[in-house]
A and B are shown apart, each in its own frame.
Chain A
């Protein structure tokens, strides 16, 4: 459907709703990818989904209905079904209507026309390039080359009407070379901005250099986290930035707004027009905006839904879907050169909360741990860790150049004296 058709459809749905409050959202998602493993293509897909979400409320009760049956002629049936469900709903003591009318949405350019075309050629070329390079090196490649596009039209009974579209090109590659492995994940709104050849060469070379790893030695040592490893940890900090759960005593941030929670070198913010494009509105039609969550180590704000905002007298804060940790200059290898002896870690795997209250995590290293000592770089075996990321981020010695990793941009970090 075109942008105009999608906006017209959600408006028609709203027009058919006989109760006071409603939000109609129509979404389309197309995802196409080539997946490969052990130097062979294992999946080659092109998927499409279209879904309508209809939320209705009468000032006291609410309900939500979702369907893939998108048909203008069926709007009356959908609305009738939703209204019937509303009648069965109990009063909601935390009822909030859709976002007030007159929301001002940020303009975010998240669409790349070429990537939105979902042409299979570049995806297959990238996969074939990785496979041939790995084969030539006597190694095995696994990964995915992927193009996604999404479009959302949303209308509220309070008078808001908005549309957002986004594309993403994603190239992930793991190369296994005997006991060595390496990995990269690169995301951009434009597939053409992904340097496939350079990534393939780097990953093959690093996998070869990671063969025959030695045991790591327990003790305290400087650690350099590659951007992917930083992103893996920051995700859990974001999960904990929930005002309500913190007020209920359930997170590490309870009672700490305005207090230092990390090194002054650590800032966590959202820039909707940064390298990761933000999403201008939430599912209620509430406008998202830039935020500073942690500023120079001090907790400034948390995500706070509109009910909790009203209850606590603080402003509502929604996630704009993009996050960044500002950095400095240089690669992880440059940071490692600043330490006499350190471990450089590519990424983590299977991170889970051990204790949500203290933000204690466990996980494993994966796809590249190197001991960097007096100019030499030698591979080290993966190891399990139990760390508190805020303690790690309190030991930042230096930051490198940020890179996009998924929905955030983060720099490599040099951390002093970490127990491993």
Chain B
């Protein structure tokens, strides 16, 4: 792979481009899904190929091809250079990249037990037993049990002299049970998400115990009364908050949105280029830390697809917005000297774009438990996990659900509820946060499928939070 990357760079250099880079990748994916008591899907796939970027007269060109041989590389280089030249001078702008010191190195994500080394019969046996447990009650009509593992080996090289490689292993378990009762259907899931880790992450999830919990709570949920409407206080767990922060903070603070590059598809953002250092994003206790160096993080690659080292910084500190996530091309346009390393593509076949980093809501430094948060609520709801989610293209108006709900009354947890939605405006919502539990209750959650860009491409990143309390949130249908 290094040799092919070097060959691509030599081809780019000899073609006279202003800048060029190449990503050579080799991927393997193993996915198994039980639907009910049946192994519905067992897919093994491998993919290998190269993606080449070139700048000619200030215009990008990108080409990719499956296959790892010199012919595929030469074809990709030729196409990238040709289409870059075809676009040069057609609009008034020129691509400018922020400065980047050439890098050499290798990064491997943590992995104690290689998931590809675990016998398939052990995996299938585990999923079959999970399915048996979930289907052991007649109220359950449909279940899913899934294991997903991927191995990504990539080499990035540029005409500036960078040559780095990453070796990543990600694993994800998933369980879901649907219960039917009285003409209604409700589901409950295991949503701990993906992690840069090996089979040890599957073991840590204790899927057999989780299957019992998912089954029982799906039945509790479908038989529960519908949630109330009105303005009330909420305690949201880390898994629920992971999606809420992903949509209302992560996407809102991407520099390409602020620049209008996503206006046709993913949308823009209410955050303005002049807002760093002054926009009040949340209450004083709200701190969002971006961290592409966290070992378990799905966006921790060592170097991004610009060849920029992964970094850690504050997106929001003491409630004030600090900094956009950037790539080399956007950094200069938003007033920064250097990129924060947020340039990632789904794989070699996609042009890398500005993606969210790993980031999380910092837990309380003081001892605070979820019960402490709940005890301060006269009437409210405790929401666990992710459900329905929707937000406008400026990342202002959102409506979220959850996966499991419990009433809070007079400072104590009550019975389960269903069909709960909360809605808010982004800065009002984070401004209403008046309590966060401490690090003992922190839950990370890795997403494998954040969609953005055209053609649409997926990205991976990890979020996390401890349970947090929000005052005076509209429940039951969102806000206009």
Contact = CB atoms under 8 A, between A and B. Distances in A.
Interface of A: 31-51, 62-70, 81, 85, 88-90, 92-94, 120-121, 124, 127-128, 131, 140, 142-144, 146, 172-174, 176, 181, 183, 216, 218, 245, 248-250, 349-357, 362-364, 366, 382-384, 386
B90 A41 contact: yes
B64 A47 contact: yes
Contacts of A50: 66-67
Nearest to B454: A144
4 A-B pairs closest in CB distance: A37-B261, A66-B45, A40-B93, A142-B263
A37 B264 contact: yes
Interface in B202-233: none
Contacts of B64: 45-49
Contacts of A176: 260, 263
Given A46-B62, A349-B392, A250 B397 contact: no
Given A42-B261, A248-B141, A250-B180, A47 B350 contact: yes
Nearest to B63: A46
Nearest to B263: A142
B421 interface: yes
A46 B79 contact: yes
B121 A44 contact: no
Contacts of A81: 44
Given A63-B42, A131-B91, A46 B390 contact: no
Contacts of B41: 64
Given A38-B263, A67-B45, A142-B263, A386 B86 contact: no
A68 B42 contact: no
Given A120-B82, A362-B421, 10 more contacts: A46-B62, A46-B64, A47-B350, A89-B124, A144-B454, A216-B480, A250-B180, A350-B391, A363-B390, A386-B477
B39 A384 contact: no
Contact of B92 (A40, A44, A63, A68): A40
A68 B49 CA distance: 8
Interface in B117-147: 119-121, 124, 128, 141-142
A34 B87 contact: yes
B466 interface: no
A44 B455 contact: no
Contact of A40 (B43, B91, B388): B91
B264 A31 contact: no
A89 B120 CA distance: 8
B286 to A, nearest CB: 24
B185 A249 contact: yes
Contacts of A362: 388, 390, 399, 421, 478
A207 to B, nearest CB: 11
Contacts of A172: 264-265, 454
A140 B262 CA distance: 12
B60 interface: yes
A68 B259 CA distance: 36
A353 B388 CA distance: 6
A140 B42 contact: no
A45 B259 CA distance: 20
Nearest to B127: A90
Contact of B62 (A45, A67, A128, A218): A45
A31 B399 CA distance: 35
Interface in B252-298: 256, 259-265, 267
Chain B interface, >50% SS class: mixed
Q: Which of A124, A146, A172 is the most central at the interface, judged by chain B CB atoms within 10 Å of its CB? A: A124
B392 A384 contact: yes
Contacts of B259: 37-38
A146 B456 CA distance: 13
B61 interface: yes
A44 B83 contact: yes
A64 B454 CA distance: 29
Which of A32, A50, A128, A350 counts the most chain B CB atoms within 10 A?
A350
A37 B185 contact: no
Most buried by A among B87, B178, B256: B87
Interface string B74-87: 00000110111011
A32 B48 contact: no
A66 B180 contact: no
Contact of A92 (B38, B44, B349): B38
Contact of A67 (B46, B186, B350, B399): B46
Contacts of A90: 39, 124, 128
Most chain B CB within 10 A, of A47, A48, A250, is at A47
A384 B67 contact: no
Interface string B331-350: 00000000000000000011
B393 interface: yes
B65 interface: yes
A35 B454 contact: yes
Nearest to A140: B260
Contacts of B40: 94
A350 B91 contact: no
Contacts of A35: 454
B455 A354 contact: no
B390 A66 contact: no
B246 interface: no
B30 to A, nearest CB: 10
A249 B423 CA distance: 29
A40 to B, nearest CB: 4
A219 to B, nearest CB: 12
A322 B432 CA distance: 46
Contact of B45 (A65, A70, A181, A249): A65
B416 to A, nearest CB: 16
B106 to A, nearest CB: 24
Contacts of B67: 50, 68-70
Contacts of A89: 39, 42, 120, 124
A211 B280 CA distance: 27
Interface in B425-467: 454-455
A46 B83 contact: yes
A134 to B, nearest CB: 11
Contacts of B90: 41, 124, 127-128
Contact of A37 (B65, B80, B260, B392): B260
Nearest to B72: A48
Contact of B60 (A42, A48, A66, A349): A42
B93 A64 contact: no
Contact of B93 (A41, A127, A354): A41
A144 to B, nearest CB: 5
B45 A350 contact: no
